[in-house]
Structure 1
């Protein structure tokens, strides 16, 4: 299943960039708002369309966006940078919200456990309501990419990362580059 995904996902992300670029050029704004908002919406749409015919692919609506679940893995896109930098510098804009909750609930177990002082949790961690639509045992594969309007998709990797409570920095357990259409992934 990874061979078709490793070809389809890069094509979907590149198409999302191209659509967002076209949208920006269409509205001719001086800011990159149209591009950024367009890319955010298009990344989900292109993945949903591009992966729909895979055996066992299931679309799930999370916060008004369709994400694809393939072989029990939620495939979730994240644009982590506007310049060509390693995915290991990726961080979220916010340490709370659907994206952060998705990573904490469905991402890998933390490499290092939290300090246990023997005190009971005062409040069990609550997650975004939309996550109830996912199988609690579903895994998470982050589709992390660096992309800018003028340069296009510069880097795309997939893997799993943890997000500690209150933190915005992703701690990658495993990640590997995906070849972009028309160019080979750099190391």
Structure 2
């Protein structure tokens, strides 16, 4: 299947890179799953710890390897992981579920830490600003020290996917979302599905 030409939102973010990104990102996430699955089988444990830890590490590694040749792509180290920045946007993977459920149910495990701070600092402006922090207060808020490596105007695109060892990658979307202080629920401003490789879709 040919990669999507993207929506108005994704074209406004990535321009001509929408087409290669919409093909390469799913391939990277599927390879990360395959590496984690093979690692679990190699260890042979009864629990899924090896799969979970392997997937967490390999998702960053596969995206870094797969996207490094794209124009304007740069790598940044955040909390000992290599994260890719393309077209002035951080591409950040999140496995939000182990079953095939909509991305709109996605919640972070914790309301604090690097991932939460990254979304609050580099995600979209709040839809209801009067219910959230004012800009001055937001700028004064303390964030994870690693985020000092990112310019304040860098954007964020979340790569949210549902995946399990036995079923593989069931759903993958990209988009932008806000995260209110003290909350773990993602409020999506934009999200759209990315087509999975044919072999994964038929698995």
- The two structures have a TM-score, normalised by structure 1, of 0.93
* 1:60 is aligned to 2:76: yes
Cα shift at 1:115: 3.9
* 1:130 maps onto 2:142 in alignment: no
Determine the C-alpha separation between the residues in 1 that align with 2:189 and 2:148.
Answer: 25
1:101 corresponds to which of 117, 127, 136: 117
Runs of 4+ in 1 over 6 A off after TM superposition: none
Contact 2:103/2:161 (CA < 8 Å) preserved in 1?
yes
> Following TM superposition, by how much is the alpha carbon of 1:116 offset from its aligned partner in structure 2, in angstroms?
7.9
Corresponding position of 1:76: 92
Number of residue pairs the alignment of both structures matches:
183
Contact 2:126–2:132 (8 Å) recurs in 1: no
| Pair 1:171-2:187 in alignment | yes
List gaps (5 residues or longer) in structure 2. 1-16
Query: Which ranges of structure 1 fall in alignment gaps of 5 or more residues?
Result: none
Q: CA deviation at 1:114?
A: 4.1
1:22 pairs with 2:22:
no
Are residues 1:155 and 2:160 paired? no
Tell me, in whole angstroms, the C-alpha distance in 1 between the residues paired with 2:168 and 2:192. Answer: 19
Out of 29, 33, 36, the residue aligned to residue 49 of structure 2 is 33
Which structure features the higher share of helix residues?
2
Cα root mean square deviation, aligned: 2.0
